[in-house]
């Protein structure tokens, strides 16, 4: 039975991917992949001090690049076990702390925060902390899902145990890195523009993305979601984003 279920979902995912390839390019871009592959490297300068917030066991800057550029990389995570499981040499400094309560020393040239802020209950406090970590002129690169996305709304409504069971059943590869409680506090482009300004951070770039894979396991559902997204974007523009990336500069 499980093999039959997975064969069915895989066929549905293949059909969903085929359909998505027929859409305009802006509906095909994977936001998380774009962030990792295209956003970070241009900001990595030789000798820079970099803070990886929430990277844990999966640091976003590779060891080879870290050594090549002579970077000082600090890993900050709320879970000491996550930091301990990181590759040897990935971090020059490991800081076990809650980002909403952390007080930085204003020494960072770059802060990277990938898919973390949706998991904090107070994103205002998190952004103030990030601003405190940065030196004047430093940059924070942030990627996160939008509270307005349908999957985010479902995530907020469903009980934790149920949504983890559904997620791990349909997408078993997510068990290692996903399934943490999410709050999506102020997690929309408009809200983050506002609270960034309140934290002394200027928005240099805000890029919305209009793709996610949560409904690909059943093509009719994926199609309905796509139709909803087209209509929602027509009225809400970037507020209809599934995910978005920000480059924030400390003033």
Residue 63's Cβ-count burial label (10 Å; 0-12, 13-18, 19+) is middle
Q: pLDDT tens, 191-248?
A: 999 999 999 999 999 999 999 999 999 999 999 999 999 999 999 999 999 999 999 9
Mean pLDDT of the chain: 94
Cα angle, residue 127 at apex, residues 100 and 155 outer, rounded to 5°: 70
Count CB-CB contacts under 10 A for residue 125.
Answer: 18
Is the model's pLDDT at 164 over the cut of 80? no
pLDDT at residue number 192? 98
Would you kindly state where each structural domain of the chain is located, as residue ranges?
A: 2-250
- Over residues 25-66, the pLDDT tens digits come to 999 999 999 999 999 999 999 999 999 999 999 999 999 999
Give the model's pLDDT for residue 160: 75
**Per-residue pLDDT band at 166 (split at 50, 70, 90):** confident
Which has the closest alpha carbon to 155: 123, 188, 129, 119? 119
CATH number of 2-250: 3.40.50.150
* Contact between residue 82 and residue 57 where contact means Cβ atoms under 8 Å apart: yes
Residue 175 confidence (pLDDT)? 65
User: What per-residue confidence (pLDDT) applies to 204?
Assistant: 98
Predicted model pTM: 0.92
Tell me, what's the pLDDT at 179?
Answer: 59
Task: Please list, residue by residue across 139-148, b when 16 or more beta carbons sit within 10 angstroms of its beta carbon and e when fewer do.
Answer: bbbbbbbbbb
């Amino acid at each position: 039975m499980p093999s039959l279920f997975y064969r069915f979902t895989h066929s549905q995912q293949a059909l969903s991917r085929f359909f998505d390839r027929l859409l305009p390019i802006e509906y095909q871009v994977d936001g998380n992949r774009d962030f990792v592959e295209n956003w970070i490297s241009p900001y990595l300068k030789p000798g820079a001090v970099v803070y990886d917030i929430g990277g844990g066991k999966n640091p976003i800057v590779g060891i080879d690049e870290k050594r090549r550029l002579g970077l000082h990389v600090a890993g900050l995570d709320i879970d000491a076990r996550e930091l301990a499981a990181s590759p040897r040499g990935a971090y020059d400094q490991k800081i076990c702390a809650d980002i909403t309560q952390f007080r930085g020393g204003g020494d960072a040239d770059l802060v990277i925060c990938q898919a973390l802020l949706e998991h904090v209950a107070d994103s205002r406090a998190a952004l103030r902390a990030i601003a405190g970590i940065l030196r004047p002129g430093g940059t924070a690169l942030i990627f996160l899902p939008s509270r307005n996305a349908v999957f985010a709304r479902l995530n907020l409504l469903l009980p934790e145990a149920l949504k983890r069971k559904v997620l791990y059943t349909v997408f078993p590869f997510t068990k290692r890195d996903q399934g943490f409680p999410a709050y999506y506090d102020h997690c929309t482009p408009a809200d983050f523009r506002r609270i960034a300004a309140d934290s002394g951070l200027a928005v240099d770039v805000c890029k919305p993305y209009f793709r996610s894979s949560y409904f690909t396991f059943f093509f009719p559902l994926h199609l309905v979601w796509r139709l909803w997204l087209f209509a929602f974007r027509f009225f809400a523009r970037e507020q209809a984003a599934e995910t978005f990336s920000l480059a924030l500069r400390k003033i």
